[in-house]
Amino acid sequence: MQQANRQTRGILAILLSPAILWLMLFFVLPLLIVFVVSFSRRSLLGVVEYDFNIQNYIRVFTTPIYLTILWRSILLAIINTGLSLLLAYPFAFFIARQTPKWQTILIFLVMVPFWTNFLIRTYALIFILRDTGLINNMLIAFGVIDQPLTIMFTQGAVILGLLYGYLPFAVLPLYASIEQLDFSYVQAAQDLGANSFYVFVRIILPLTMPGVVAAAIITFIPTLGAYVTPDLMGGGNTFLIGNLLQQQFMTVRDWPFGSALGFILMLMVLAATMIYFRSGGGRLA
Amino acid sequence: MSEIDVELRNVTKKFGDFIAVDRVSVQVRDGEFFALLGPSGCGKTTCLRMIAGFELPSQGEILIRGEPMGETPPHKRPVNTVFQNYALFPHMTVFENVAFGLEMKKVARAEIKPRVMEALEMVRLPQLADRRPRQLSGGQQQRVALARALVNRPQVLLLDEPLSALDLKLRKAMQFELKELQRRVGITFIFVTHDQEEAITMSDRIAVMNEGLIQQVGDPIEIYERPNNRFVADFIGETNFIEGEVVRTNAEEAMVALGQGVQAPARPAADIQPGQIVTVAVRPEKISLRPNSEATNGSAVPATVEEAVYIGTDTRYLLRVAGKHLVVARVQNVTSDLDRNRPFQHGDQVYLSWPANGAQILTS
């Protein structure tokens, strides 16, 4: 027994070591470096000087513009997550109710956008939305408006871009959990006098909550740190943490301050995830 | 004459080209324990689902308490269902499950608790109110499902194979309990089952179905003793089917020639003529065996013992009649003598007899 146990453990260690090594080398180690750097100082020439201080963190929380950017990022991520769930849930529900053949086809279609590079898709979206884009040209041609609507380079455009980018990520986990729902529960609820509203609120929604939580986390986290979409579609008008981070690392070359920002972003994501699970959302997961 | 609670009028249900239920007309009386019995795929569950409102008839009408249901959705019908897999809500406690129907009916909060506890006491599970369904055994889940339906005091309770998921011993106990519960609450039960023994022991009346058609409706004794076709006789209990030609018939009995000059009595059927080829259906326990023809009252059927099997309560004989028909007879072992409970052996010549009304003539 003891022998067998030791042997199993040996095999387990061999099988797990590549993954552990990978994680240590490319995740834990860089994270530690960022952590250390976030407590350092940028020299005048943009070089990291290792002298321990918490100035970077103090700077984030005492500079109004950074707080505004933080708050805007959180708000946009929440709005985007909410809209994603609202749009993705009925869609995922619709897919889950089709015959298996149609389910496969529809899920396949959901994934088709991933075949094209995200940057190219964002540019395509810009071509549709800009002042001389498809929508404005059509509206002018039909005489609905005579001046083009300003869609691009607004906060709305950023939300639209984020929604477009992350909607498929919300559809997949929702579909997976709705597809597994046993519809005899729905019939039982109807049998007990529940109308469509109560069937949804009391039965379907609680039973598919793991999918809702997964979809929320999977859309909230990347939108919180997004920088390509706000950069291209917000045109600098909607500056988010992601943009700030990119600026600090690439333009200003203030790595210590950028690292502190990165850590704050990570802690926010961690907090959001914990709140979700604490609130009971993950209870059935 | 009691009132009609549920009525199916000429109901047909088609799924594409498949006819699941074919022109079914049946009346269920108020307070009755009514079974829909048949093999799987006979349309019995579809009938139940149409009464509950989960399916709509392609043709015909369903009336509950004289009121046509039309396209009334399930949540507005005065019926509740106990599902085959119970379908207890996994995210709610037993109490919440049972309270669900009352909440949907907007019953006052103060009234919900006593009614839920009353329902749980009825199924003897009040101590499990705070458990989740997955923490319960199969039998307990079954009883929670019953309480969840009965707490609403429905006009009719629909039960879809409610005992099929339980093991044999529990099933037997629940049969008794369910029957007893029905008598106590006085609610009409419509019970779907493929188990003929279950239907016979529990029901006031049974509708036997096959291939979407009602074969026979009657109380258990009628169904067992007077099956009106071969399907019913074969599906309920064990029956010997013996082909023969009608020799003569009168009000008391008909004589049927079985070949090699052998004749057997049977209960006369209304529409038979001498010369007609019919099937005689006789239950194994109606047949008596004698060592000689004199002991029987006239109509003895000679047979050869092919096999004799002692099975405790009875001895089963496999007999050859008129050189071609194989007939099973079951003789109860009334004595306790070691050598007398299998008086006939392989190869013995015996004489079979049965009362004329113990054998049915089937023409279809």
| CB within 8 Å: A184 and B83 | yes
| CB within 8 Å: B75 and A192 | yes
Say yes or no: B217 and B273 in one domain: no
The residues, any chain, with a CB within 8 Å of residue B355's CB and separated by 6 or more, are B265, B286
Task: Record the tokens describing residue B290, joined without a space.
Answer: 């004698």
Say yes or no: B268 and B206 in one domain: no
Say yes or no: B16 and B113 in one domain: yes
Among B175, B199, B234, the domain boundary falls at: B234
Per-residue pLDDT of chain B (364 residues; tens, 9 = 90+): 468 899 999 999 999 999 999 999 999 999 999 999 999 889 999 999 999 999 999 999 999 999 999 999 999 999 999 999 999 999 999 999 999 999 999 999 999 999 999 999 988 899 999 999 999 998 899 999 999 999 999 999 999 998 888 888 888 888 888 899 899 888 999 999 999 989 999 999 999 999 999 999 999 999 999 998 999 999 998 999 999 989 888 888 888 988 888 888 899 887 888 888 999 999 999 998 888 766 555 578 889 999 988 888 888 999 998 888 899 999 888 877 776 666 788 888 888 888 888 899 988 6
- Mean pLDDT over A99-115 rounds to 93
CA distance A274 to chain B (A): 21
CA distance B10 to chain A (A): 24
Say yes or no: B49 and B102 in one domain: yes
| CB within 8 Å: A193 and B91 | no
* CA-to-CA separations, A76 to A172, A223, A241, A242, in angstroms, rounded: 22, 8, 11, 12
Task: Record the tokens describing residue B52, joined without a space.
Answer: 């509950």
DSSP conformation letters of B336-357: --TTTS----TT-EEEEE--GG
- pLDDT digit string, tens, across residues A119-148: 899 999 999 988 888 888 899 999 888 888
Work out how many domains chain B is built from and give that number.
Answer: 2
Q: Could you give the dihedral angle defined by the CA atoms of residues B141, B183, B73 and A188, in that order, rounded to the nearest 10 degrees?
A: 0
Q: What are A155's strand-pairing partners?
A: none
Say yes or no: B63 and B144 in one domain: yes
| CB within 8 Å: A187 and B83 | yes
As a whole number of angstroms, the distance between CA B59 and CA B43 comes to 15
pLDDT-based confidence at A285, cuts 50/70/90?
Answer: very low
Q: Which of residues 197-236 of A touch B (CB under 8 A)?
A: 198, 202-203, 206-207
Please report residues of B whose CB lies closer than 8 A to that of A203.
89
Give residue A252's pLDDT. 87
Helical ranges in B255-363 per DSSP H: none
Give residue B298's pLDDT. 57
Say yes or no: B73 and B11 in one domain: yes
Nearest to B75 among A185, A190, A284 (CB): A190
pLDDT-based confidence at A284, cuts 50/70/90?
Answer: very low
Mean pLDDT of chain A: 89
- Interaxial angle between packed helices B138-150 and B168-185, expressed in degrees from 0 to 180 and rounded to the nearest 10: 20
- pLDDT digit string, tens, across residues B96-145: 999 999 999 999 999 999 999 999 998 889 999 999 999 999 889 999 99
pTM of the model: 0.82
Give residue A2's pLDDT. 58
Please report residues of B whose CB lies closer than 8 A to that of A188.
81, 83, 87-89
Would you say residue A268 has pLDDT above 90?
A: no
- pLDDT digit string, tens, across residues B230-274: 999 999 989 999 999 898 888 888 889 888 888 888 998 878 888
- Mean pLDDT over A161-186 rounds to 93
Give residue B340's pLDDT. 66
Say yes or no: B50 and B11 in one domain: yes
Nearest to B152 among A192, A195, A198 (CB): A192
CA distance A199 to chain B (A): 10
Say yes or no: B17 and B89 in one domain: yes
Ramachandran area for residue A108 (φ above 0: left; ψ -120 to 50: alpha; else beta): alpha
| CB within 8 Å: B54 and A195 | no
Which DSSP symbol is given to A251? Answer: I
What range defines the domain where residue B300 resides?
239-362
The residues, any chain, with a CB within 8 Å of residue A262's CB and separated by 6 or more, are A34, A38, A245
| CB within 8 Å: A190 and B85 | no
Nearest to B81 among A191, A202, A284 (CB): A191
Say yes or no: B178 and B50 in one domain: yes
Which CATH number applies to A60-278?
Answer: 1.10.3720.10
What is the interface size between A and B, counted as CB pairs within 8 Å? Answer: 58
Please report residues of A whose CB lies closer than 8 A to that of B64.
none
Strands (E), A23-135: 41-42, 48-49
| CB within 8 Å: A193 and B83 | no
Comparing B364 with A70, the larger pLDDT belongs to A70
Among B197, B214, B234, the domain boundary falls at: B234
CA distance A182 to chain B (A): 9
Say yes or no: B25 and B171 in one domain: yes
Q: In chain A, where are the structural domains located?
A: 60-278
CATH of the domain at B40: 3.40.50.300
| CB within 8 Å: B105 and A194 | no
Among B183, B215, B234, the domain boundary falls at: B234
| Spacing of C-alpha A207 from chain mean position | 23
- pLDDT digit string, tens, across residues A195-212: 999 999 999 999 999 899
Q: Which of residues 166-185 of A touch B (CB under 8 A)?
A: 182, 184-185
